[in-house]
Structure formats: C-alpha cells, structure tokens
Amino acid sequence: MGNTSIDRRVFVKAGGLALVSLGLDPIFLTRAAYAVRRGDGPADRKKTLICVFQRGAVDGLTMVVPHGDRFYYADRPGIAVPRPGQGGGALELDGHFGLHPALAGLLPYYRDGSLAIVHAVGSPTPSRSHFDAQDFMESGTPGVKSTRDGWLNRYMAHADDHEDTPFRGVAMGSQLPRALLGTAAALAIQDLRTFGIRAPGGAGDRITAAFEELYGGSASGMVASSAEEGFEAIRMLRSANPAGRDPGNGARYPGGEFGSQMRQLAQLIKSDIGLEIGFASVGGWDTHANQGASQGQLATRLRQFGDTLAAFARDLGPRMADVVVLTMSEFGRTVAENGNRGTDHGRATAMLVLGGNANGGKVLGRWPTLDPERRADGRDLAVTTDFRDLFGEILVKHLGAASLAQVFPGYGGSVDRWVGAMR
C-alpha cells in the first residue's frame, strides 16, 4: 500500500458504493454493477440532455421581461428592467418579451432558432418552500413527498435503448441530486481531475492501485463487484482524459463553480464515453432584497449564467445538434417588488431550451397576463404550463422516450399539452 492511507472505507449503502480516499472529492456510484462498453466514436453518439437547476427560485420576470404587459411596470417601480430601446433596456425578442441585457450572450442563439423560451411554467402544486418545491420538481411528482427516486433516474431505468456505461448519467458535484437518485446507474463527480487524469503516477494512480490491492483476488460478492466496476469507471475516465480537452471554437467559460461544471460536462460529451443525462446546479437566485434591475446582484448572476451557457454551446459547436440544455427553477418570484426592493417567493417562472432540435426563436407557453385579477393568489404569475409537460416533451422528442407513465407516475398529461419546445 506504500504511503497511501486507504482503509476499508468502501461500503455498500442502499445499493450504492462510495470511494473515499486521501481527502479528495468522492465519486459516488449508485449501483453495484455495470456492464461497461465504450462507444467507438461519432457513429455511436447518442442524444444528450443537460439539466441545469437554478436553485433559489429565479425571477423569470426579470430574466425574460414581459415589457408589453403594462402591469409589469406598475408593480415594479424600483426593479423593472426598462423597455427595449431605453437605457439598460431589455433585448427585444418578439414585441412583447425581452431578454435581460445581462443575457446578451444568449441572444444569437435565440435569433438563429436554437434557443426556445417557455414562460409561465412551474408546478401545479403550490409551495413557497424551496425544499419542498425543489423536491417536487426533481422527483417529478408534485405534491407527493413519499416518492423516493427522481424523474431522470426513472427515465434511465425504463428506457429500452441505451449505451451500457457508468457515465450514462452524471451530476457535477459531491453528491447525486434528487432527480438522479434511483435504481439506474448514475455518478456524481466533483472534479474530473480528481483521479490523477493529468498526472500519471500521482495520487490518482496510487488510489487506484491501493483499491486493486485491497480487493483484487480476495473479495467476493457485491462489494467485490462494486469495487471492480468502480475501478473500471476510473480507468475509463483516465483513458478518455476528458479534462485534457480544452474548450473548442474559442469558447471561454466564466470563472466560478457553474462555469467549471458546464465546462466539464462538455468535456465528457466530447470524450464519447456515453453521457446521456448531465446535471448541473447553480444557486444564488433568492433575491429578497436589493435585487436590482439592469444592474445589480441579479444582473451579475444572470450574466454569469448566460455567458456560461453561451460558452457551452460555442464549445460544442456542431455537436450541439445532439445536445439539449434545459434550465429549471423550483418557482418564480412575486409580481410586485417588496419593501426591500427585492421579490418574494412566487409561482411560475421562465425556463430555457437550448440546442438540439429546439423550436427556437420563440417565447412559448400561454401568457396569463399580470393583471391582478388573473394572478395566482392575487400576487404571482400563474402557472399555465405544468413543468412535466415541458420535461416530458423533451424526453420524448429529444431522447426518444416511448412512454412517460413510469417517468411521471400519476401524471395525466398528453401530447396536446406540450408547448412545442421541440421541433
């Protein structure tokens, strides 16, 4: 074992395996066994869905400004984004909606038809709790707290045609998000460099060798199988060397955790190791005070967000034809600003669909107006699109899901409720 200090902290819990080593970020494997097969290149490429969760409830009325709705300006005297053409004004989209000026990096994708926007989307079950609303959205069963798995994992578990690889479902982070919990194989990876990809003979090699020495030829049963497949996942990652792939086409990712997550997801896609579902999270959207308008804390967050998504699309270039990025947030914000020049927890928000065969260049969904008499609870943008209608349409039209009954149990939606986010 040399100078490594790895003990038998390899454990099986709820059908999963955790590799804990040398204080490095862990990689969690949610099933004990994988049948690993690596694709042979472009001919084997599958469609990929990248889900981006804006945790904290983004203000969709600032992200995608309804400048054509007169009530927007009446109730937001201090934080409304000015109309297009005015100083710091929204970027015109269709005569009624405008993009926040900090999201200028995404405007070319809207104009070329590869970015679609869905407004007034959210959960049919009212909740002003971040925890509950995120849980409902990730479980895919709004209003049901007893669901134990996530909608993305259920899709993977029931899909008929898929590549057998431990990298089919990957979340960037130290643990799996609720949406990827379940019986299907999924990974959580904090950093692609963790296992010594860039430094042969370094810590990554020592970790792998130590685990092989610990279990090779001596262990049996589930733990042996889990360890063996865990080694194979590490070896695949190191062989593909995704962290060695620099951004393409002159793409430059903003600094920070979200930029790093999206850069690494692009690296995994370009490595052709079978990524079908990717997941990233970005927080900081709970703007109760000093939200700002064209400038301010929310504008700064939106700029990082939009520039990161634009860099991801630029990085992948033609490969974006096989990739869809879907953004989501647990709920939106109140129509009226509060006494602290911020907004409080609301209902509907806006979500973005970028890439693939997105039906872009449009703001989709039925706009309920901001008329106080039409607001949810008299204060919020009403939900006119159930988030499952949007998510389900993308699963069917992009990933080829044959049925949504097992993905969204208890869901009574149908094709005629889709918003047309995909061609």
Contact 136, 8 (CB under 8 A): no
Q: How many helices (H) and strands (E) does the chain have?
A: 10, 15
Q: pLDDT tens digits for 33-59? A: 233 333 444 444 689 999 999 999 999
**Scanning the structure block, which residue is given the tokens 């134990």?**
148
Determine what percent of the chain is predicted with pLDDT higher than 90: 72
Give me the pLDDT at residue 226, please: 38
Q: pLDDT tens digits for 280-331? A: 999 999 999 999 999 999 999 999 999 999 999 999 999 999 999 999 999 9
Give me the pLDDT at residue 219, please: 33
- CB-based burial label for 339 (10 Å; 0-12, 13-18, 19+): exposed
Pairing verdict, β 27-29 and 16-19: antiparallel
Lowest model confidence (mean pLDDT) among 6-10, 118-122, 202-206: 6-10
Q: Please, what is the average pLDDT of the chain?
A: 85
Residue 68 scores a pLDDT above 50? yes
Give me the pLDDT at residue 165, please: 85
User: In the chain, what are the domains?
Assistant: 11-409 (3.40.720)
Average pLDDT score over residue span 414-419: 95
Which residue would you say has higher pLDDT here, 224 or 362?
A: 362
The pTM of this model reads 0.86
How far is 152 from 166, CA to CA, in rounded Å? 15
Average pLDDT score over residue span 198-211: 47
Alpha carbon of 265 to those of 49, 195, 247: distances in Å?
A: 11, 16, 11
DSSP designation for 81:
P
Contact residues for 334 (Cβ-Cβ < 8 A; gap 6+): 343, 344, 345, 346, 379, 380
Residue 232 scores a pLDDT above 70? no
Give me the pLDDT at residue 209, please: 53
Pairing verdict, β 349-355 and 98-99: unpaired
Contact 93, 99 (CB under 8 A): yes
Give me the pLDDT at residue 227, please: 52
Beta strands in 30-134 (DSSP E): 48-54, 64-65, 91-92, 98-99, 115-122
Determine what percent of the chain is predicted with pLDDT higher than 70: 80
Average pLDDT score over residue span 116-123: 98
Tokens representing residue 125 in the block? 């079950």
